[in-house]
A = this chain, B = another copy of it.
Amino acid sequence: MELGFIGLGKMGMNMVTRLRRDQHRVVVYDRSADLVSQATTHGCIPASSLADLTAQLNAPRAVWCMVPAGAPTEETIRALGTLLKSGDTIIDGGNTNFHDDVRRADELKGKGIAYLDAGTSGGVWGLEAGYCLMVGGDKAAVERLAPVFTTLTPENGWAHMGAVGSGHYVKMVHNGIEYSMMQGYAEGFELMSKSDYRLDLPRIADLWMQGSVVRSWLLELAAGALKENPKLDHLKGFVQDSGEGRWMIADAIEKGVPVPTLASALFTRFRSRQDDSFAEKMLAALRNAFGGHAVKR
C-alpha cells in the first residue's frame, strides 16, 4: 500500500528499507536532505517538506512519524494535523508517553484524522528480523494499515492492543521489563567477573543460550558483546535511559503496584551517570560524625 514516512534515523531508515522490499509506495521526508536522498536508493519517493509529502499521497492518506519523542514528534504531529484531512491516519511509531497519545488523538478526532500509536521493539536488528509492533487506536484505522504492519514485523509480530495509547503503554511496560532483565544479567556477570574461578564470561553467555532457563535474546547480545571484549574495558559504564522506565514507575505509583526491580534498574542508571554522589558523601560525613571513621578527601 502507500505510506508517508517522516524521520529517517537509524530506525526509520531500516523501516522504509523493509517496507520497500514488499513494494509499498513510500514517500519520505527528513530534515536531512542527505537521508532523504539515501532513502531514494531503496526506491522511496522523496519529499522536500511535510506539505510536499502529504501532497504526494492519495486519500485516505497514512503517515508514519518516526522522529525523536517529545518536542520533535509533537511538532511534527501538530503540523500534520493542519496538512491532513478527514479520513487520513497518523501513526506515531516513536517512544511517546501514552498520555500524549490520548491527548493528541482527542485533538485530531475533531478533524476526522485517526491517530495510531505503534510501540516498536527490535532495535537495529529489526531490519532483518522484523520489529515487534504493539498498536493502539481506532480498530478500523489499524485494519487499514495491516499490510504495513505485516511487512514491518515477523510472523504474528504485530497486534492491536486496544484503545489509543495502549500500543505505547504496552511498549512502555516492555521497556521496563527490559531494564530489569538487563540489570539482572549485569549483576550476575559483574559478580562472575570478580570470581576467583577466572570464569570465561563470553563462553558462559553462549552456554546459557543452550537450554538454560535464562536464555533470551538479550543474553545472545550479551554473548556477542562479551566476545568482542570480555572485560568490557573499552567502555564507560555510563547508561542512558529513554523515558519508558520512568513513565512505568509513575504509572505503577499511580496504580499502587510495587516495581522494585524496575526502580533498582533505573536508579543504577542514574548512579552510573553521576561522577560524584552527594548522598554517598553524606554517608561518609555521618560515619565520621558519629564514629570518627576516617573519610577520604
A→B interface (CB under 8 Å) = 10, 121-126, 129-132, 134, 136, 153-159, 161-163, 165-166, 169-170, 173-195, 197-200, 203-204, 206-208, 210-219, 221-222, 224-226, 232-240, 246, 248-253, 255-274, 276-293, 295-297
Shortest Cβ gap from A201 to chain B (Å): 9
Residue among A157, A264, A266, A273 with most chain B CB within 10 A: A264
A222 and B285 CA atoms in complex are apart in Å by 8
Complex CA distance for A123 and B296, rounded to whole angstroms: 19
Cross-chain contact A185 with B282 (CB below 8 angstroms) = yes
Q: 12 A-B residue contacts at CB 8 Å? A: A123-B213, A153-B210, A157-B207, A177-B185, A177-B188, A213-B217, A221-B290, A225-B288, A237-B278, A256-B273, A261-B265, A268-B279
Question: Of B212, B278, B293, which contacts A121 at CB under 8 A?
Answer: B212
CB distance from A199 to the nearest CB of B (A): 6
Given A253-B266, A277-B237, A279-B237, check contact A178 B214 (CB 8 Å): yes
Q: Is the interface of A mostly helix, strand, loop or mixed?
A: helix
Q: Are the CB atoms of B281 and A132 closer together than 8 Å? A: no
Q: How many copies does the complex hold?
A: 4
Further 5 A-B residue pairs, CB within 8 A, beyond A222-B286, A237-B284, A257-B279: A123-B290, A134-B204, A159-B203, A186-B282, A225-B286
Interchain CA distance A165-B197 in the complex, whole Å: 9
Chain B residue contacts of A286, Cβ below 8 A = 182, 185-186, 218, 221-222, 225
Task: Looking at the assembled complex, report how far the CB atom of A259 sits from the nearest CB atom of chain B, in whole angstroms.
Answer: 5
Given known A173-B191, A204-B161, contact A154–B210 (CB-CB < 8 A): yes
The answer for the CA separation of A235 and B284 in the assembled complex, in Å, is 8
A196 — nearest CB in chain B belongs to which residue?
A: B163
CB of B264 within 8 A of CB of A264, answer yes
